[in-house]
């Protein structure tokens, strides 16, 4: 039984450094695995376990066969078994021989006391040599050849991957904006982008300052189709074809429609150079709270498909 414990201990000492070195990375990797990857990992683990069990069984059978041969052949009993030879060469060494040498270090003598060169078992020597080889290979891999990624490089790579994922999430969120869930975005970047879109596509009919032309005045409190952000978004998106307001659903994405709609609402209360007379109903707050006789209706139709939301 002791020989098996010794063998397992040796295997554990050889495997444990690499296992501990990869523990943190493996834990993070397992958390990000999907069900298929986890199932594959389990299958590989089972296969490795079966191989280890077969190896143990093979060692046991070899020991059993050796014992049988020794029992049937007395002359073999005096010969050293393969296990004893293996253990002496790679595990324990010949301790008696080493002790008999009395390896005193003559040059390490202090006050009449000489230092003893203690015996180091072979397995410990191999582990020590293995750590040196591993250290040299590790250093060459990450520093000399630059094959492996350093901690900083791994961190930067994770930041890059997360930036791509964040952009993907942002695009998905932007694509889901519609007239039922749109909100007013009065941030500087959004209003700046909305102004650019407005000047490029809407100023021809509503004037660059929103005072109106072919289209209605966007700076007063009167609206033809509602003055809420959802109403303005719907008009920009679907248009009002019968009144010459083109739809922009095919030319602007939902985020851009939100930006230009938010910019249109930011024009409320400004003073255009040549404001057009009010049209529609007075809008206050979230709904039309006060109705007045509609002013002169918009009769000019725009067939050039460049008009932005009518109020």
* pLDDT, tens digit (0-9, with 9 covering 90-100), for 23-38: 444 555 555 667 788 8
pTM: 0.46
Per-residue pLDDT band for 151 (boundaries 50, 70, 90) equals confident
What pLDDT was estimated at residue 110? 73
What pLDDT was estimated at residue 294? 41
What pLDDT was estimated at residue 241? 85
pLDDT at residue 223 above 70?
A: yes
The mean pLDDT value for 156-170 works out to 89
Lookup: tokens for 225: 């189709």
pLDDT at residue 177 above 80?
A: yes
Q: How far is CA 138 from the centre of its chain?
A: 26
pLDDT at residue 171 above 90?
A: no
pLDDT at residue 134 above 90?
A: yes
Question: Which has more pLDDT, 27 or 301?
Answer: 27
- Residue 237's CB is within 10 A of a number of other CB atoms, namely 21
What pLDDT was estimated at residue 308? 44
Cα–Cα separations (whole angstroms), residue 222 to 51, 187, 200, 204, 297: 81, 24, 24, 20, 12
What pLDDT was estimated at residue 304? 37
What pLDDT was estimated at residue 195? 92
Give the least confident one: 179-183, 188-192, 236-240, 299-303. 299-303
Phi and psi dihedrals of 110, rounded to 5?
Answer: -135, 120
């Amino acid at each position: 039984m002791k020989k098996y414990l010794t063998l397992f201990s040796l295997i554990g000492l050889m495997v444990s450094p690499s296992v501990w070195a990869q523990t943190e990375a493996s834990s993070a990797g397992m958390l990000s695995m999907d069900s298929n990857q986890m199932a594959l990992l389990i299958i590989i683990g089972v296969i490795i376990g079966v191989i280890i069990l077969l190896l143990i069984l093979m060692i046991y059978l070899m020991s059993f066969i050796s014992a049988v041969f020794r029992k049937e052949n007395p002359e073999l009993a005096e010969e050293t078994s393969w296990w004893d030879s293996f253990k002496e060469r790679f595990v324990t060494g010949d301790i008696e021989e080493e002790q008999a040498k009395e390896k005193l270090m003559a040059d390490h003598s202090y006050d009449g006391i000489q230092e003893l060169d203690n015996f180091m078992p072979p397995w410990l020597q191999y582990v020590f040599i293995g750590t040196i080889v591993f250290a040299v290979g590790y250093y060459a891999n990450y520093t000399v050849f630059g094959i492996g990624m350093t901690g900083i490089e791994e961190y930067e790579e994770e930041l890059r991957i997360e930036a791509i994922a964040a952009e993907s999430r942002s695009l998905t969120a932007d694509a889901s904006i519609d007239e039922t869930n749109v909100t007013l975005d009065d941030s500087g970047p959004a209003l700046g982008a909305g102004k650019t879109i407005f000047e490029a596509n809407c100023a021809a009919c509503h004037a660059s300052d929103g005072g109106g032309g072919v289209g209605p005045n966007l700076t007063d409190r009167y609206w033809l189709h509602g003055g809420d952000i959802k109403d303005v978004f719907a008009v920009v998106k679907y248009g009002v074809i019968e009144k010459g307001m083109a739809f922009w659903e095919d030319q602007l994405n939902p985020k851009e429609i939100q930006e230009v709609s938010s910019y249109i609402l930011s024009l409320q209360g400004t003073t255009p150079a040549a404001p057009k007379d009010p049209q529609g109903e007075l809008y206050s707050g979230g709904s039309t709270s006060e109705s007045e006789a509609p002013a002169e209706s918009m009769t000019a139709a725009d067939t050039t498909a460049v008009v932005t939301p009518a109020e």
